[in-house]
Amino acid sequence: MIKPCALQEGNRAAVIAPAGPPEQEHLKQGIRVLEDMGLEVVIGKHVYDGEDSDEKRLSDIHEAFCDPSIKAVFCANGGAGSAKLAPMIDYEIIQKNPKIFWGYSDITYLLHAIHNFSDMVTFHGPMVSSDLNDEQRSTETESSILPLLTGESYIYDSHKSPLMTLSHGTGEGRLVGGNLTLLTNGMGTPFQVNTKGAILLIEDVAEPAFRIDAMLTHLKQAGVFESVKGVILGHFQDDPEEYEKIKEVLKDFFSDAPYPVVENFYIGHCNPNYGVPLGVQAKLTTSPPQLIIESGVV
C-alpha cells in the first residue's frame, strides 16, 4: 500500500466536494483551521456547483492530484453522489501522484475505490466544512489531523472514549471500513471493501436499529466477516433511545465472534471525530481495549 508524504508547514492543500456543495460560511471557518496548522488552502473550482455536476466534481479530484504543488486533498463534507464518481476516476493519476486523501461518510465509497485501484493509503477523518466549523469543532477532532504533519502512529484507548468489549481477543491486519451504509452499497461492485485479513471499522448515523441489523446481515451473507481479524465500532445514532436499541443489535450480532470486537470509538458522525488512516497495519486488543495504527504517511 502506497503511503503519501507527510505534510510540512507551508504545503498547499486542496479542498474539494465530491459528495455535494458545503455550507459556505462553515467551509470558510474550517479552512481557517487548516491555515492555522500552517497549510495554504486551495478551494476546488467546482466546490459550490451542486450534486448534479458529476464531471465538474470529477475534474476537481483529477486537478488536485495532477497538481504537484498540492500535497493533500481534504473533502469539505459528506452528502451523496460519490459512488457515481468512482467508475469515472482515472486511478492511474492517483497512483502516480500519491497524496493525502481525507474524508468520511459518503466519501467512504471513494476511500475504498482508491484502495482497490490505486493501492494508496487513504484517511477516514473529520471534514473541513461539516466537522471543523466553529459550531462542531473540538480540540480532539482538530488534533487528530496533526499526525499528517508529525508522522506519528495512532493509539486509541479508553483515554479518548470509554471503550467496551463485545468479543475478546487480539487481531492484527490492515485497517479498512467506514460508513456502514456505503460499505453495504458497495457490495458486488468493483469498489467493495476488501476485508480479508483486515481490522474492519463500522460507523453510521441516523439509521434505525432495524436498518443496522439488516445491513450487518447483508455483509455477513456476503462473506465480509469470514476472514476479518477484528471489528471496531464507531458512533451510530444521535437519538439516545434508538442508540440503546442499536447497541443491543451490535451485542447480539457480535457476541459469538471469533475475533475481537470493541465498541464506542469516537470515529465518524460524532463529536469528537477522530481521524484514522485506512489501508495501514493496525492491532486491536481487548485486555485492555486498545487500537494501535501505524502512521499513514512517510
Which CATH number covers residue 115? 3.40.50.10740
pLDDT at 33: 98
Q: Give domain status of residue 298, yes or no.
A: no
pLDDT at 88 over 90: yes
If asked whether residues 16 and 130 sit together in one domain, one would say yes
Whether 153 sits among the annotated catalytic residues: the reply is no
> Domain boundary at 115, 150, 185, which?
150
If asked whether residues 64 and 27 sit together in one domain, one would say yes
pLDDT at 4 over 70: yes
Look up the CATH number of the domain holding residue 289. Answer: 3.50.30.60
Q: What is the pLDDT of residues 194-250, one digit of tens each?
A: 999 999 999 999 999 999 999 999 999 999 999 999 999 999 977 889 999 999 999
In sequence order, the 6+-apart residues with CB closer than 8 A to the CB of 267 are: 124, 201, 203, 232, 234, 235, 273, 274, 276
In sequence order, the 6+-apart residues with CB closer than 8 A to the CB of 240 are: none
If asked whether residues 146 and 237 sit together in one domain, one would say no
Domain that holds residue 133: 12-150
pLDDT at 172: 98
Alpha helices in 68-175 (DSSP H): 82-85, 91-96, 108-118, 139-143, 147-150
CB count in 10 Å sphere of residue 213: 18
Q: Average pLDDT, stretch 258-281?
A: 97
pLDDT band for position 49 (50/70/90)? confident
Q: Give domain status of residue 30, yes or no.
A: yes
In sequence order, the 6+-apart residues with CB closer than 8 A to the CB of 211 are: none
Q: Give domain status of residue 64, yes or no.
A: yes
Q: Round to whole Å and give the CA distance between 55 and 33.
A: 29
Task: Tell me which of 82, 105, 118, 161 is the catalytic residue.
Answer: 105
pLDDT band for position 56 (50/70/90)? very high
pLDDT at 257 over 90: yes
Whether 152 sits among the annotated catalytic residues: the reply is no
Q: Average pLDDT, stretch 1-30?
A: 97
pLDDT at 290 over 90: yes
If asked whether residues 129 and 216 sit together in one domain, one would say no
If asked whether residues 165 and 254 sit together in one domain, one would say yes
Whether 69 sits among the annotated catalytic residues: the reply is no
pLDDT at 237: 76
If asked whether residues 164 and 288 sit together in one domain, one would say yes
pLDDT at 114: 98
If asked whether residues 141 and 224 sit together in one domain, one would say no
Average pLDDT, the chain: 96
If asked whether residues 133 and 192 sit together in one domain, one would say no
If asked whether residues 142 and 199 sit together in one domain, one would say no
> Domain boundary at 98, 132, 150, which?
150
If asked whether residues 145 and 160 sit together in one domain, one would say no
Task: Tell me which of 63, 203, 207, 263 is the catalytic residue.
Answer: 203
> Domain boundary at 150, 177, 201, which?
150
pLDDT at 52: 64
Contact 148, 72 (CB under 8 A): yes
If asked whether residues 146 and 213 sit together in one domain, one would say no
Q: How many domains does the chain have?
A: 2
Q: What is the pLDDT of residues 107-151, one digit of tens each?
A: 999 999 999 999 999 999 999 999 999 999 999 999 999 999 999
If asked whether residues 140 and 169 sit together in one domain, one would say no
Q: Give domain status of residue 76, yes or no.
A: yes
